[in-house]
Structures are given as structure tokens and as C-alpha cells.
Amino acid sequence: MTRRPAVVAHGLKKSYGDVRVLRGVDLEVEQGSVFALLGPNGAGKTTTVKILSTLLPPDAGRAWVAGFDILRERTRVRRSISLTGQYAAVDEEQTGAENLQMMARLRGYARRAARARATTLLQQFDLTEAAERRVRTYSGGMRRRLDLAASLVTEPSVLFLDEPTTGLDPRSRLALWRVIKDLVARGVTVVLTTQYLEEADELADRIAVIDHGTIVASGTADELKRQVAETRLDVTFADPASYAAAVGKLAGLVVSTEPDELRLVTATDGSAAHIRSLLDEVDPSGTAIAHFRTRTATLDDVFLALTGRPAQPHDTKEPAHV
Ligand SMILES: Nc1ncnc2c1ncn2[C@@H]1O[C@H](COP(=O)(O)OP(=O)(O)OP(=O)(O)O)[C@@H](O)[C@H]1O
Ligand SMILES: [Mg+2]
């Protein structure tokens, strides 16, 4: 039996004025899997999620979510999905419990059932102690958890999470990862966006790397790593002159450089013969290299190789207060 994909998109395009934000995005997400859309600030992640969750019409292209057309069957799509946006959407002046009860009422629960559902969710998201406090007093991590709880009042067929863990401390991040894994184990399909390679690697069955509105690569984490050669040779030089000479000599083989550290990274097949010949080439006299190591390519290396830029820009948005 072949399962229908939970999300299919063909050629999604979107522009704001002259700015082409999506330039033809294709996606396919299997039911019951986690799909990560990985990309830096401004890549088009939120725009893609908004289109798939029917909040924004595309200029061109088509998409189906849970089997329904996002344009022609918008109401059915909306009934099948939940969305946790990039910025918290809960009411600051209500308590955590009140927020969840309100969501449950909106989803059609009777008053008593809504209260019971809220209690369960508060427990599940470790918010029981804060249940009667106004959200205004919550930390960033608590807010994020409440937001996620609110989107799970009724269990969706497809859950969209836009940067669910940005700004969370490591403990809250791990807690959220656990919640996501539980949901997937129950058959929910999760589409998440992230700027964290580690997160995509940890959670996602498949990853699509998006940059400037274009999917530049997709596959499993392992496939992406293989796509850019598996082994890396990191070489640190003893002095700036040797470093500069080596960068010149290896030119095409250099994957990335860290000039301040006098370090360059090259791709290698990992064989002793290749590594020896690379080292000999840049250091014939045996004095130029301070040290070297070989390692498996990380998703960071993959991103750099695919886009020519590091994955996590340093001018990233303000982390939420935690
Ligand atoms: N309403 C809008 N009007 C004009 N430009 C917009 C609008 N919304 C988004 N953009 C632009 O579209 C591009 C993609 O934005 P989008 O929010 O999809 O990126 P993102 O990948 O979610 O980034 P981030 O990691 O910062 O959340 C950006 O250059 C952004 O400035
Ligand atoms: Mg975004």
C-alpha cells in the first residue's frame, strides 16, 4: 500500500513588489514523518509555511495538504492542520489555563471538556504550576510551550511549526523535541522550519535546504552529508604566509576557511593516500602545518558547500527571553 503524501507542493512562487521571496518551491512530505525546512534568515521559510497553511496565497504553483488543495479546499486544509507561528500567539492578559480553555472552546469542546483538555495539556507541557498565572509573567520557554499546547488542543493531521525552538534554552529545546517525537509516533505529520542544523539532523526524516527562495538540496541528513563528500580534512597552519600559500595551492578543493585561526577545510575521500598527498602538497618541507584532523562532514559543511554561506548568520534575530 502506498501512502498518500501529507504535503505536496509544486512550483510555489511569491514576490513582494520586486522582491522574489519564493522562486519555485517543490516539496513532498510523507505521512507520519518529520520534514525540516532548513535555511538562514530571510530564506523564505515562514513564507512557505504561511502558504501551505492557507494564510497567504502563492503567486504561482499548487499545493495539497492532507490531500486537500490549499486554494480550492482551504477550509478542509484548515480543519486538518495546526500552526505554531514564529512569534507566540497567546493572550498575554489571560492565564495559561484560560488560554487553553479558550482554544478548546473555539475548537468545539463543551465547557467541562475544555477544562479537562486544558489540564491534560498543561501537564503534558510541564506548565501545571504556572497554569493560573497570566502569560505576561511567563518566560520565553514557557510561552513557546503554551503556544505549542494551544496548537494541539485537537490533534491535527499535519502540524506546522515555524522555528519552534528559536530562543529556547537547551533544556526547553530538548523537552520540545520530545513532544514532537511523541506526536510523530502517534502518526502526526510535522513540517518544521529551523535555522539549526542540529535540530534538523535530530528530528527530521527528510530535510530541504532553502536559500533565497530556492530549495538548494533535499534528502535525509545522511544523504545531504554524502552529497558534499563525507570526509573533511581540517588543517591549521603555523603562520599566515604558509596559510595564504596553501589556500592558493588548494584553491578548488577548499571548502571553507577561517583566516583568524589560520585554518582551512578541504574535502577528501578519507583515504590515507589522498590525505597524505594533500598534506604533502601544502607542506612539502614539513614545517607549515601546526596540526590537522579528519572528520565526517557536518550539516554545517553541507550548507556551506551548497550555498557558499554559513548556515547560521551572526545577525540572527533576538532570542526570546527565557
Ligand atoms: N509582507 C512582506 N512584505 C515584504 N517583504 C516580505 C514580507 N514578508 C516577508 N518578506 C521578505 O521575504 C523574505 C523571506 O521572508 P521569510 O519570512 O519567509 O523568511 P524566513 O526564512 O522565515 O526568515 P527568518 O529565519 O528570519 O524567519 C525576506 O527577505 C523578507 O524580508
Ligand atoms: Mg521565518
* CATH ID of 228-306, from 3.40.50.300, 3.40.980.10, 3.30.70.100, 3.40.47.10: 3.30.70.100
Q: What is the pLDDT of residue 2?
A: 54
Which residues, 6 or more positions from 252, have their beta carbon under 8 angstroms from its beta carbon? none
SS3 307: helix
- Identify which of 39, 314, 316 has the alpha carbon closest to the alpha carbon of residue 49: 39
Q: What is the pLDDT of residues 94-124, one digit of tens each?
A: 999 999 999 899 888 999 999 999 999 999 8
Per-residue pLDDT band for 322 (boundaries 50, 70, 90) equals very low
Summarize pLDDT for 151-200 with one digit per residue, the tens: 888 889 999 999 988 877 888 788 888 888 988 998 999 999 998 888 89
pTM: 0.80
User: Which ligand 1 atom sits closest to the C-alpha of 50?
Assistant: 18
Question: Taking residues 250-272, what's their average pLDDT?
Answer: 87
* Cα atoms in the 13 Å half-sphere on the side-chain side of 5: 14
**∠ CA(223), CA(229), CA(230), 5° rounding?**
75
Beta carbon of 213 within 6 Å of any ligand 1 atom: no
**If you search the block for the grid coordinates 484560560, which residue do you land on?**
98
Residue 47: is it exposed, middle or buried by C-beta count within 10 angstroms (0-12/13-18/19+)? buried
Q: Which residues surround ligand 2, an ion (CB under 5 A)?
A: 45-46, 86
Residue 89 is predicted with a pLDDT of 74
- Ligand 1 centre and the CA of 16: distance in Å? 9
Tell whether ligand 1 has an atom less than 6 A from the beta carbon of residue 31.
no
Lowest-confidence pick of 20-24, 248-252, 262-266: 248-252
> Cα separation of 52 and 268, whole Å?
40
C-alpha cell at 6: 501529507
The percent of residues above 90 in pLDDT, for the chain, comes to 58
| Residue with CA closest to ligand 1 atom 26 | 41
DSSP type of residue 2: P
- Is 271 or 302 the better-scoring residue by pLDDT? 271
**Do 7-17+30-219 and 228-306 agree at the fold level?**
no
What are the boundaries of each domain within the chain?
Answer: 7-17+30-219, 228-306
Which of 22, 45, 160, 309 is the pocket-test mutation for ligand 1 (most atoms within 8 Å of CB)? 45
**CA separation (Å) from 126 to 30, 32, 87, 283?**
30, 25, 20, 56
Residue 226 pLDDT: 74
Residue range 7-17+30-219 in CATH 3.40.50.10260: no
251: Cβ contacts below 8 Å, ≥ 6 apart: none
pLDDT surpasses 70 at 312:
no
